[in-house]
Amino acid sequence: MTYTLLHHTGCSTSRKGLALLQENGIEPEVRKYMNAGEALSVAELKDIAQKMGGVSPREFLRDKDAQKFDIPTSMSDEDLFKAMVENPKLIQRPIGIKGDKAVLGRPIEKLLEIT
């Protein structure tokens, strides 16, 4: 089963997460979701939330960017998914996905929970 890592090369935590997986013998399929050609859809974000246990997208929202882009705390999950698609900087990273499980790599050691 393939391990997919939602990765942003400009993020030091994301780079450390990738390195941790590789150090543990896991060579994930890396998806650079910040690149237009690898952008996530609303359906994919909903699937990730479901694989995280049916959580709200707020569970993987970058708080500082939410403030920067004036995302209100009252925004519905549906609108938040759409905002994340329009501006992928709002998505916290790294996120590991394997089978029917997904995990936010904060701290990065959590990425090993689904290997």
Pick the catalytic residue: 1, 2, 9, 11?
A: 11
* Burial per residue of 28-55, b for 16 or more beta-carbon CB atoms within 10 angstroms, e otherwise: bebbbbbeeeeebeeebbeebbebbeee
Both tokens of 48, joined, read: 């990730």
- The reply to whether 26 belongs to the active site is no
> What does residue 88 show for φ and ψ, rounded to 5 degrees?
-65, -10
Contact 6, 30 (CB under 8 A): no
> What does DSSP say about strands 3-6 and 29-31: parallel, antiparallel, or unpaired?
parallel
Q: Which residues are catalytically annotated?
A: 11
